[in-house]
Amino acid sequence: MVIVRRKDLSLLEKLYLPEIARGLSITFRKLFEKKITRQYPEEPLPTNEVTRGQPRLVVKDDGHIACVSCGMCEIACPAYAITIDGGETDRAIEREPVRFDIDMLRCILCGFCEEACPKDAIYMSNELELADYSRAALVYDMEKLKRPKAALQKRIDYVYRLNNRWRKSSSTR
Amino acid sequence: MSPMHWDWLVWFLKANVIYGGLLGTAAGMTLAERKVSAWMQYRHGPNRVGPWGLLQPIADGVKFIFKESLTPDGANKWLFRCAPALAAIPSMLTIAVIPMGPAIPFIPGDYKYFSITDLDIGLMYLLSIGGLSIYGIILGSWASNSKFSLLGGLRASAQMISYELTLILSILAVVTLTGSLDLRDAVAAQSGAIWEWHVFSQPLAFILFSIAAFAETNRHPFDFAECEPELVSGFHTEYSSMRFAMFALGEYCAMVVIASLWTTLFLGGYNVPFWEDAPWFLCIGAFLAKTSIFLFLFLWVRWTLPRFRFDQLMALGWKVFLPLALANLFLTGAAVSYGVKLW
Amino acid sequence: MAEVFFYALSALAVLFALGVVLAKSPMMSVLNLLGSFFCLSVIYLLAGFQFMAAAQILVYAGAILVLFLFVIMLLNLGDISAHSTGFLGALRSTGAKIGVAVAVAIGLALLISVNLGMLGLKPAESLPDGIDGMTGIATELFGRYALPFEAVSVLLLATMVAVVVLAKRQRPGTDARKS
């Protein structure tokens, strides 16, 4: 059993009113202090390369998409958000996707696709906002997902830095 | 037009201005409440509708009108529908006797007092009609057929009866000094220097009135009729849409009325300190400024103090405030009848 | 004009009073009583007794009926409304018989007073000149009628104490007279 001994109140404290005035003065001072709320749409959240936003497809500097439609990300995706149809090209890299859809309503931003990709073709961008008026509009096709490599370069470097911790010098690279 | 028609026109004008002001202030208070609470908690408050969120009350009103009005199963439908009006109307009626300004030349050369009406028994009228707003709360809570509502209504009725005594007794001390129930006399008695105000001659009555005002309007720290953590939302748990808005409107109107009564009885009403013949617009300005002080106090206290416990409220009312108010009234009466100048 | 109002309000007051007796739910009885009080208060206003009218609302409607409601909300309403069997059942009960007797008595008193011309509608005729209603009431109440006024309050206090003693539940092993 715990006996809680309450503090003995002095006469002034028993009168309540001075203490109430003290409380009121505190809240009055708070009225003029700096507000800490972020005005979100106008002041967006700060992002950096660690931010794991929505996945985006890398477009190489030669203008072609880096994806070879191997299907690794499709398999890795725990939410079954990715759908890929492969096709052939005349270039040295013979395959590229004809269709690459990510259902953003299913995507859980886990980053498994980024880890699974053998060709550095899909990366988590810093884009986080996801709002539209229909479900269909939130199934992103290839055109919506394409980003130039330069836009994702920071993230790419970060992922390489991260993975280098586990990579032995003898490893093939 | 004949003079009688002028009288009607002036009366119509006054009633419209004063009621428009009352409802506008009540709507503004809903915004002010959210703004002040936000500022005290390092937030911005509503700022999306209109410049600085000033149009928020209108948006709220539109939302309330378009929401579905639900009536719970097993409710007493007739009473359930009447109750919000019963809660809102009395507090709106009471503003009629508050003198808000001196005689104003509505028509050049024709001076009319700036209040809807002046009654010999203005204070009696205000207290008796104001005391009726409790019926809305009690009947609404009973008709809802909900245990939370019923408990809220029970608490509200007990609380109102207890604190109305303190409120009336503290007002009576002031009435003893002025010797009249006409509010305009109370204002006239406080004209001139600032120390003529009754807040200085009746400090105890001033404090008691201020505290009882919080209990009478069901405001924090005495809002036991609502008491969200314990009773969901108290007497208006089952209300939605415009019916709920009527309860809120009644509460805010009651706040405005009691703040103006506070000003009239203790802070010299529409008198401008040290300037007895101040022009009428300054007088009205003074009245509004003094009233808004107390309106701000309502908000300020709400976001500062925690809620009392119900038994503490009752003990405080009956064992502390009532004896104090009685003693104060007794001393004031003795002093007045033996001709002792208190101040 | 005032007479038309008077008779209309009186009829309404009587209707409300009937409603008090005949309503099935006690809540409705109280509401009817409230309506009756309001009619009375307006009748006082018509007669020029502003103070009486305001006091009627302040004391009866604002305080006493709220206490009634408070008590009714604490009661188990289901049991009470089950007993009521409509108008005829209400007439047969003992309470109704007493009520009828009281009503007849009041009616007789009213008839006599009307015939004596004591129910005049002229405003505040009986008060001396130069004194408004409230000052007149105050001087009379605390001057000539001070003793009866105090006696009535002592009577009320005695009634209250008596009711508390009667209603107090006796616990086994305690002496009711001591506690």
pLDDT (mean) for C143-150: 84
pLDDT one digit per residue (tens) for chain A, 173 residues: 888 888 887 777 777 888 888 888 988 888 888 888 888 888 888 888 888 889 999 998 888 888 999 989 999 999 999 999 988 988 888 888 999 999 999 999 998 999 898 888 999 998 888 888 999 999 998 888 888 988 889 899 999 888 888 776 655 54
Q: Where are the domains of chain A?
A: 55-164
**Binning pLDDT at 50, 70 and 90, where does residue C123 land?**
very low
- Give the pLDDT score at A101: 92
Whose structure tokens read 């709507």? B27
The verdict on a CB contact (< 8 Å) between B305 and A30 is: no
Q: Which of residues 69-128 of B touch C (CB under 8 A)?
A: 76, 79, 119-121, 124-125, 127-128
B294 neighbourhood in chain A, CB within 8 Å: none
Choose among A118, A40, A126, A30: nearest CA to A76. Answer: A118
CA B76 to chain centre: 29
Q: Which chains touch A (3 or more CB pairs under 8 A)?
A: B
Q: Where are the domains of chain B?
A: 10-337
CA nearest to B221 within chain A: A20
Closest Cβ opposite residue A27 in set B40, B43, B44 = B40
Could you give the angle at the alpha carbon of B131 between the alpha carbons of B127 and B133, nearest 5°? 135
The domain of C41 spans 2-127
Q: What is the ipTM of this complex?
A: 0.79
C80-108 per-position pLDDT tens digit: 444 555 555 655 666 677 778 888 888 88
Distance CA A131, CA A137 (A): 9
CB of A31 within 8 Å of a chain B CB? The answer is yes
Distance CA B104, CA B14 (A): 11
CATH assignment of A55-164? 3.30.70.3270
3-state helix, strand, coil in chain A (%, to 5): 30, 15, 55
Q: Which of residues 207-236 of B touch A (CB under 8 A)?
A: 207
Choose among B208, A113, A159, B160: nearest CA to C61. Answer: B160
User: Residue C60: inside a domain, yes or no?
Assistant: yes
pLDDT (mean) for C2-28: 85
**Binning pLDDT at 50, 70 and 90, where does residue C141 land?**
confident
Distance CA A91, CA A71 (A): 20
B36 neighbourhood in chain A, CB within 8 Å: 31
The verdict on a CB contact (< 8 Å) between C58 and B157 is: no
DSSP state letters, B196-237: GSHHHH-HHHHHHHHHHHHHHTT-TTS-TTT-HHHHTTGGGT
Helix C26-46 to helix B133-143 angle (10° resolution) is 160
CA B211 to chain centre: 12
Choose among B174, B201, B207: nearest CA to B320. Answer: B207
CA nearest to B163 within chain C: C63
Residue B101 pairs with which residues in a beta bridge? B114
- Give the pLDDT score at C115: 64
pLDDT (mean) for B276-297: 86
User: Residue C38: inside a domain, yes or no?
Assistant: yes
- Give the pLDDT score at B326: 92
Q: Judge contact between A128 and A47, C-beta under 8 A.
A: yes
Whose structure tokens read 């103006």? B260
Q: Considering only B26-40, B52-66, B187-201, which range has the smallest mean pLDDT?
A: B187-201
User: Residue C163: inside a domain, yes or no?
Assistant: no
CB of B304 within 8 Å of a chain A CB? The answer is yes
Q: Considering only A153-167, B154-168, B301-315, C110-124, which range has the smallest mean pLDDT?
A: C110-124
Q: What is the CATH number of the domain that holds C39?
A: 1.20.120.1200
Cβ atoms within 10 Å, residue C34 = 21
Choose among B122, B102, B131: nearest CA to B175. Answer: B122
Choose among A128, A103, A144: nearest CA to A51. Answer: A128
B49-79 per-position pLDDT tens digit: 888 888 888 898 899 889 888 888 877 888 8
Closest Cβ opposite residue C134 in set B121, B138, B142 = B121
DSSP 8-state class, residue A65:
B
Q: Is the predicted pLDDT of residue B260 greater than 60, yes or no?
A: yes
CA B260 to chain centre: 7
Per-residue burial over B102-140, b if 16 or more Cβ lie within 10 Å, else e, is bebebeeeeebebbbeebbbbbbbbbbbbbbbbbbbbbb
Q: With the C-alpha atoms ordered B118, B122, B126, B132, is the resulting torsion angle positive or negative? A: negative
User: What radius of gyration, in Å, describes the C-alpha atoms of chain A?
Assistant: 27
Q: Is the predicted pLDDT of residue C179 greater than 50, yes or no?
A: no
Q: With the C-alpha atoms ordered C161, C164, C170, C174, is the resulting torsion angle positive or negative? A: negative
